[in-house]
Structure 1
Amino acid sequence: MQSTNDITLILGGTGKTGRRVAKQLTTRGVAVRTASRSGDVRFDWDQPATWAPALTGATSVYLAYHPDLALPGAAAHIDAFARLAVAHGVRRIVLLSGRGEPQVHPSEEAVRTCGAEYTVLRAAWFDQNFSEGYLREPVLAGEIAFPGGDAAEPFIDADDIAEVAALALTSDGHAGRTYDLTGPRLLTFAEAAAELTAAAGHAVRYTPISSQAYGEVLASFLPAPTAEFMRDLFAQLLDGHNSHVSGDVARVLGRPPRDFRDYARDAAAAGAWRR
């Protein structure tokens, strides 16, 4: 358990999960320090000089790597940061990882061997990608053109991820665990579009496209190496090997994970897709 003098450092503190973890911990009375490239506490993975100041006084860390833990070079960053964190007195690290991505395993291993208590959260695709991420504009436009084929995904609500992370950071019984975090049911992207149509109040259709075509879309606003990496990653993730649900959210939280339909209804009510 954390004491009142402990500080939790939240990396990616302005991101989808980071800001939710901060809210969860603040509600529990835990002191938090949010850090990001543009936050009050500056943190940049490409500038190691920013790491130590962010870690000063922290005893636990929520570690989310931007833009993706599967990127080449991520494991070297995670290894160096985790060891520095332990040297600064960090005792517990919760790592946000990707589900069904072998590229993230070296980063996970770096956290497992750094000397701190650790919990790894392997999360499915976030519901909030449709309302806060790269799929929001397509939903607003009424067409999600994406290389998902007919693969089914157990989309998970970022609030559920944050609640699991908060428990792992503040309570015992989670050290050494790797949790597989999914929503309660599988949906294809076409089925997700139908749920979004019902919630958003305007038609949203799903148009499957090839990975190559989507890579060309990504290349219009991302550096070429990043666009190629994301293209190949989506192709791998959406080959069907992740099309199964897990009971880990229910086991940790003592309740079922939130359904995509409830997420879509509440996001629409909050104005996520208001024109």
Structure 2
Amino acid sequence: MTQTDATTAATSVQGPVLVTGGTGKTGRRVVARLRERGVETRAASRSGDTPFDWADPTTWGPALEGATAVYIVPLDTSPSPTVPFVEQAVASGVRRLVLLSARGVDVPGYFGPGHDVGGPHGEGERALRGSGVDWTILRPGWFAQNFSEGVFLDGVRDGELALPTGDGKAAFIDADDIAAVAVAALTEDGHAGEEYGLSGPRALGIADVLDEIAKATGKRAAYVPLDSSAFRAGLVADQGFTDEEAGLWTDALIPITTSREAPVLDGVRRALGREPRDFADFVRDAAERGAWG
């Protein structure tokens, strides 16, 4: 499979394809790629073309009506609404499901000692496996786009990114690669029953990331290592986080701190027949679009 992310690739599912989270980081990219292929696509979200709200199950049925495949960007709460949603999707006639899960959900201690294996993502994965239809699970690590349109952007722009990640590293994955794998799984045969671990081709520390951005933009941001308690306190005092929210956010960084996100995974190559995009390529394209001003 050397061209499964190309618009000329053979398509076995013509749609309609429902994309939940259709305006988010991966969802909007999946929508764009599907429409480039001529696949009828519904961008579903609270503000999308197709109204959809995880907290309002009355919106699920109209969004699912007539859909043949669904890309699921789940709500990270327990109990997971993915479970009843999958049941309703199958009952409505959907024959193919692709779930955006997360790297490490099946690894004890991946997100620290206070987190159970699986969690909401694990609940969603089990729902897909037991659905009785074709399913594919995507397990990406940290997104490269968190530096250009996400949680790290302000720090990069302001010239100082303070995080409790020490010298840890991660093989950051380009969201465009996630979308390419999702579209292949939604529209082509050969991906049913696959679990794709998705990463970039090399591991970088936060200082390395900022070096790559500086090379492309000429603007250098400093990496300031913090201890986790100081970082957590700052979220509460400066950004209005609750203690619980600050704890969850701090724990989410543990896989970088421990370099559990560093190993390179083969999901992009297995799904698309090519290597994942390098972080430097992502930075070049983001800089050209003016991501960092």
Same fold (TM over 0.5): yes
**Matching of residues 118-137 of structure 1 within 5 Å:** 118-137=135-154
User: 2:20–2:27: 8 Å Cα contact kept in structure 1?
Assistant: yes
**Matching of residues 1-275 of structure 1 within 5 Å:** 2-4=12-14, 6-66=15-75, 69=76, 71-73=77-79, 75=80, 77-101=81-105, 102=117, 103=119, 104-219=121-236, 220-236=239-255, 238-274=257-293
Q: CA deviation at 1:62?
A: 0.5
**Mind listing any 5+ residue stretches in structure 2 that lack a counterpart?**
1-10, 106-116
Change (3 A) 1:200 1:65: farther
Q: Which amino acid aligns with 2:30?
A: V
SS across alignment from 2:101 = strand
Q: CA deviation at 1:60?
A: 0.5
SS across alignment from 1:21 = helix
The whole-number CA distance in structure 1 between the counterparts of 2:13 and 2:281 is 35
How far does the alpha carbon of each residue in 1:18-48 deviate from its partner, in whole angstroms, 9 at most, with x for none? 0100111111111100111222222111111
Q: CA deviation at 1:242?
A: 2.6
* 4+ runs deviating over 6 angstroms: none
User: 2:98–2:182: 8 Å Cα contact kept in structure 1?
Assistant: yes
User: 1:211–1:235: 8 Å Cα contact kept in structure 2?
Assistant: no
The whole-number CA distance in structure 2 between the counterparts of 1:218 and 1:45 is 27
SS across alignment from 2:123 = helix
RMSD (CA atoms):
1.6
Name the counterpart of 2:110: none
The TM-score with structure 2 as length reference comes to 0.86
Larger CA deviation: 220-229 vs 253-262: 220-229
The whole-number CA distance in structure 2 between the counterparts of 1:128 and 1:3 is 29
Change (3 A) 1:198 1:223: same
User: 2:256–2:262: 8 Å Cα contact kept in structure 1?
Assistant: no
The whole-number CA distance in structure 1 between the counterparts of 2:71 and 2:87 is 15
Larger CA deviation: 205-214 vs 262-271: 205-214
Q: CA deviation at 1:80?
A: 0.6
SS across alignment from 1:62 = strand
Change (3 A) 1:262 1:169: same
User: 2:13–2:188: 8 Å Cα contact kept in structure 1?
Assistant: no
Q: CA deviation at 1:140?
A: 0.5
Change (3 A) 1:89 1:184: same
The whole-number CA distance in structure 1 between the counterparts of 2:144 and 2:286 is 10
Paired residues in the alignment total 268
Change (3 A) 1:201 1:55: same
The whole-number CA distance in structure 1 between the counterparts of 2:217 and 2:226 is 23
**Identity, % of aligned positions:** 47
Change (3 A) 1:72 1:150: farther
Change (3 A) 1:50 1:171: same
Change (3 A) 1:218 1:49: farther
User: 1:100–1:237: 8 Å Cα contact kept in structure 2?
Assistant: no
How far does the alpha carbon of each residue in 1:165-213 deviate from its partner, in whole angstroms, 9 at most, with x for none? 0000001110000001110001111111111111222111211112223
SS across alignment from 1:98 = coil
The TM-score with structure 1 as length reference comes to 0.92
The whole-number CA distance in structure 2 between the counterparts of 1:210 and 1:52 is 46
